[in-house]
Each structure stands twice: as structure tokens, then as C-alpha cells.
Structure 1
């Protein structure tokens, strides 16, 4: 029987509740400029809020961004269905009220001045995006702000995901639909230019594998191989000076709820 090397194996399906996903996520965080850039922009948005009583973070993950934002609010509510992530969330935000329910069953006890829905819609069927955002808007206090964050469909990261899986996520049609239904609110769609940098091909491929898991890889037959993924990373992301850089530009939909509603 022919033995397959690791690189010839299919890319892994990374369960967001599993250890492999957490290791890949940590590797990504160690090499990306996402947190400092997004935190700076989030801080600017928070400073414009008329009130900073309640923060609601939907899909709070390990709580790094929740902890950063919560310093500006009197109370913090976080929704996080993953038990493994909730353990880290409890350490990062010990005073937060943490709801373990999936997003479609969550029931926050009060409206929030800032509702943060970041990189969650990948795990929601696209047919349910509008309903999900409408629920988040219902949880936003009058005069408050809802933030919806997703990868830009033309980012190098998402072009890679589309190449291997066919998926393409785009906030723009959703933003247009919400604006049509709720013209009384204020809207803006911003783009943040972000990059992951890796010193070697192995790390770059591991993070590329994490990135293409925005698709439901378990439904692909066959799944792309690590050999093909490594070749793509080498061809598209190698730097002339050595190392690798993968752009992962993200879009931020800012909905400022009308002061009276």
C-alpha cells in the first residue's frame, strides 16, 4: 500500500470547539496585526457612543476583544456556546455575564449600547444572516451601535478560500437589505487592511488551513490536499525577502441605531 505524507493528506476539518482549532487560532493570532488595528478602530467607535452602560459581545470566543471593550462599559454580556472558549472567556472577563446558548437561542437580559458580532456569520447559514442581524439590532439600545465584522470577499485570504472551497462571503448585500428594512438608522461599511505574517512555509500552510475552514470542509468530497494548499501559499504569499504574508482584509458594518425607537 502506498503511504501518504502529511502534505498529501486532505486539509483538516477544524472543529471550533476542538484543540486543533485552538492551536491554529493561537498560531494565527501570534502572526497577525489584527488585534492592534481592530482594537484601535473599536476604541474610536466606542468613544463616539452617547452611553457606555452595556456591552454585548455575540460569539465572544476567548474574550480578548471582549476584555478590551469591556473596560469602557459598566456591564458586559457575552454569548459564547463553546465550553472551551468560555473557560478562557471567564479568565479574560471575570465580571462578564456569560450566556452559553447558541446565537439563535440567546436571550440577553437587557439592550446594549454596543453590540459586537465579529466573524460569527461564517457559522450561520447565509439564509439566516438577515434574521441574525435583525435580532442583534433588536438587542441594540436606542442611540447605540451594532458592529458586524466579516472577511472582505476580495481579500487574499477569501480568494484562497474561494479557490479551494467555492465559498464567498460578502457583507454588502446584507448591509443593503438591512438598510432597506430599517432606513431610520445610520449605516457605514468600512474596510480594515490586515495581514498575517509567517517565518516559514509550515506555519503559513497551517494558518492557511485555518483560514479556509471558514467553509464547511466536512461537506467537500474530496477535500483539497495540503500539497495543493502549500503550492498555493508558496505561489501567492511568499515574500521576496523571505517568509510569507497573507492579507485578510475585513469589512466592518457599522449600524448606529436611531435614538428613538
Structure 2
């Protein structure tokens, strides 16, 4: 028997520091293959580094991935402006140096062999993406790697967000502009095919609501209707076995910083 779910009213705008966001995020993590697949790929990136002295995780959040990466490095520096996230980050990474400033004001103590920026650019105005990433490239040690992660614009998750908000993110133009400005470095753009799965419509709807909570959602007027979101989930994400699967492919831009000539 299908589980009934609350489908009335507008989609909620979730505060990233609030309990509703936290519940939705935990529900998403419980049903997605993102962490094991992403961590496996990150492990391969780390294995290819020339040095593993310093990790810099920018927008480290609660520190799950920071802790995974940090085990391979001598020192970890994390940038996280959210006070609520920093509390969890310090528990996950007690030995890390934690900086509370946003990207445009942070001052890491030393260059890093890996600079990791995962799912942060959603909260940066698009016109500031290039300056922000160039700033991170300045924090990357010679021969080190900058890694930027973002949702693929053609993933089912992003198509849903674009349908309800008009917003879609894309790393490719940024990669092209960065390559034009910084041609000496090595660039690669790849995708990881990830999926959230559940047998319950109510859980699929809560996670879909979490996914459409792009930074610009609060400016959408009127807000999308939750019943329309439920109909979209049923139409696009129902599996043949009666469960639900939402693809959320992510793109990974890797920049290997060139060593100085001579």
C-alpha cells in the first residue's frame, strides 16, 4: 500500500542551519550512493598527488568528507562560515585548523596540496565564480590540485530544480574561462553518476524538496506548490518496482597547478 504524504502548500525554503534542512539532508544521505562513490574517486585523486602535506577543504560543512580526506594528509585546514556546521566539523576533525571566514576573506596559513571545493558555488553569485576559484587556485601549491564539485546541469536533480525555479548550475563555462585565464595548468572535467533511492513516496518527496532548495528559491514568487513537486516525482522518478530513484550526477573539475618555469 502506498504511503500517504503531505502534498499541500508551497515548497518550504530550508535554512541550511535549521533542523528541517538537517533532517532532509540526513534522509538524502541515507538513500544515496554519493559518499561511497565520491570518496572512492577522491581517494584516487589523492593517490595521484605528488605531495600530501596540506589539505584545504573550503566549505567543509560538517566535515564527513574533510575527515575522509584528512587521513591522507599531514595537516588539514577547513574553511566553514556557518557556526552550526563548525560545531560538527570540529567534532569530526578535531585536529584541523578551522577558519570561519567566507572565501573572499579567508586567509589559509599555507598553500595546500589539495584544495577541495564541493557543492559550494551554489551559494556564490555566478559573476563571482571565476574570481573565487582563481583565489582558490592561488591557495594551491605548485604541482598541487584544485578540485571543484557541482551538480551536472543535465542530471535529473538539476532538471527538476530548473523546472521549478529556473535555476541550473554548470561548471563547464567556468572551466573554459579559467582555462583561458590560466592556460599553464592542467584541466580535466569528469562526471560521477549518482542516485538517491527509496521505496517511500513521502521520503522521495522530502528529498526532492531538499534538492530544489537552491540558493535562489527564496526569491521565487510564488513558491512552487508541493503537490506539483509530488506529481513531478511520481512522473519522472518512479521505478518499475514501485520505488523511486532520483539521479544526481555531479561534475568534478580538476586543476593541476603548474610548477614555476625553471
Q: TM-score range by the shorter chain?
A: over 0.9
Q: Which moved more, 1:100-109 or 1:36-45?
A: 100-109
1:62 and 1:206 map into 2 onto residues whose CA distance is: 21
Partner of 1:160: 160
Partner of 1:22: 22
3-state SS of 1:154 partner: coil
State how 1:78-157 maps to structure 2 within 5 Å: 78-157=78-157
Once the two structures are superposed, what CA deviation does each residue of 1:137-174 show, in whole Å capped at 9, x if it has no partner? Answer: 00000000000000000000000000000001100000
Q: Which runs of 5+ in 1 are unaligned?
A: none
2:6 and 2:104 map into 1 onto residues whose CA distance is: 38
Q: Which moved more, 1:100-109 or 1:251-260?
A: 100-109
1:260 and 1:234 map into 2 onto residues whose CA distance is: 54
Partner of 1:190: 190
Partner of 2:61: 61
Q: Which moved more, 1:16-25 or 1:176-185?
A: 16-25
Contact 1:161 1:215 in 2 (8 A): no
2:198 and 2:225 map into 1 onto residues whose CA distance is: 20
Partner of 1:45: 45
1:88 and 1:227 map into 2 onto residues whose CA distance is: 34
Q: Which runs of 5+ in 2 are unaligned?
A: none
Contact 2:51 2:144 in 1 (8 A): yes
Runs of 4+ residues deviating >3 angstroms: none
Structural RMSD (CA): 1.1
Partner of 2:12: 12
Q: How many pairs were matched up?
A: 257
1:162 and 1:12 map into 2 onto residues whose CA distance is: 16
Contact 2:110 2:139 in 1 (8 A): yes
3-state SS of 1:227 partner: helix
Partner of 2:228: 228
Partner of 1:174: 174
TM-score normalised per structure 2 = 0.96
1:236 and 1:45 map into 2 onto residues whose CA distance is: 34
2:44 and 2:149 map into 1 onto residues whose CA distance is: 16
Find out whether 1:203 has 2:203 as its counterpart.
Answer: yes
The Cα of 1:6 is off from its aligned counterpart by 4.6
2:132 and 2:104 map into 1 onto residues whose CA distance is: 7
